[in-house]
Chain A
Amino acid sequence: MSGTDTHDDAVISRQVRRLESLLEEKGIVGGDTVDEVIDGFLAGASPVNGAKVTARAWTDPAYRERLLADGTAAVGELGFSSGGVQKQRLRVVENTAGTHNIIVCTLCSCYPLRLLGPSPGWYKSEAYRSRVVRDPRGVLADFGVTLPESVDITVWDSSAETRYMVLPRRPAGTDDLSEEELAGLVTRNGLIGTAVL
């Protein structure tokens, strides 16, 4: 695995463009319809949302408890949902001193889009999807992350209706930071579980 954002999507891109032009030629969709749907789909979808949820959980213990008990409702308190076109159940899984969580979708590329934005290319790659369920420590090493042997790693394979987000550990030495400053420390990979903050 390259660990970068590159992946070869030329073939599928050509197929999609051809399908789109056929639909327009036959008058099934208007010229702007597809762009409008995609813009609506992605509107407001960003890892900034997941970062805000994380910073709130770090600074408000009662919110953290609600987030871990019912992720869907707790992100809803901040005005977020997890799904794309459909609303989906969200489960937030918390990293601790003894446990580390990583998310994947081995069947396709399910992802909490509203909270994390469009997924990176490597998340959809066969290399990541097939390897992380078998050798998560090896995949983490590719991302420059080495965890102690004593840390139990759980890989959450989004194979049905639920979407997962990792609640990263709060970095040490951040007691004096505001909620907004803390949110600035949270990365997309931290929310996937392929980084430690």
Chain B
Amino acid sequence: MTDESARTGRFAPGAHVRTYLHDPPHHTRLPRYARGKRGVVVEPEGPAPLADVRAQGRDDAPVEMIYAVRFTARDLWGEGDHHVVLDLSESYLKEAE
């Protein structure tokens, strides 16, 4: 990722996204309950070093845009009428199919 794309971000508010389903062997800020789920971008929150890399004690963490992403309870749990908003780094997200 270039510095420029970290500043502006790849996803706009309202973008439909899906989180990756990976299960990394290191720290990540993508909670297990929100893996492989579809959501909608609320807003970009600003760039930050990727916690997954920083937590390994490395100083080469890429700077990525973090997004507030809104999920329906039905998509997360298969039931419920509430919403959950998570703050997720850009590399946790792909465009929803």
Contacts and interface: CB of A to CB of B under 8 A. Distances in A.
A186 B45 CA distance: 28
Contact of B86 (A89, A137, A157): A157
B57 to A, nearest CB: 18
Nearest to B33: A133
8 contacts: A152-B83, A155-B83, A157-B31, A159-B29, A161-B45, A162-B45, A162-B66, A162-B68
Contacts of A155: 82-85
Contact of B88 (A91, A152, A154, A159): A159
A158 interface: yes
A118 B77 CA distance: 31
Contacts of A63: none
Contact of A134 (B45, B80, B81, B86): B80
B46 interface: yes
Contacts of A106: 31, 33
A42 interface: no
Nearest to B46: A89
B12 interface: no
A196 to B, nearest CB: 16
Contacts of B29: 107, 159-160
Nearest to A129: B31
B61 interface: no
Interface string B21-65: 000000001110100000000000110100100000000000000
Given A155-B82, A159-B31, 14 more contacts: A133-B84, A135-B80, A152-B81, A152-B82, A155-B84, A156-B85, A157-B85, A159-B86, A160-B29, A160-B88, A161-B45, A161-B46, A161-B66, A162-B66
B3 to A, nearest CB: 18
B84 A154 contact: yes
A182 B87 CA distance: 32
Nearest to A135: B80
B48 A161 contact: yes
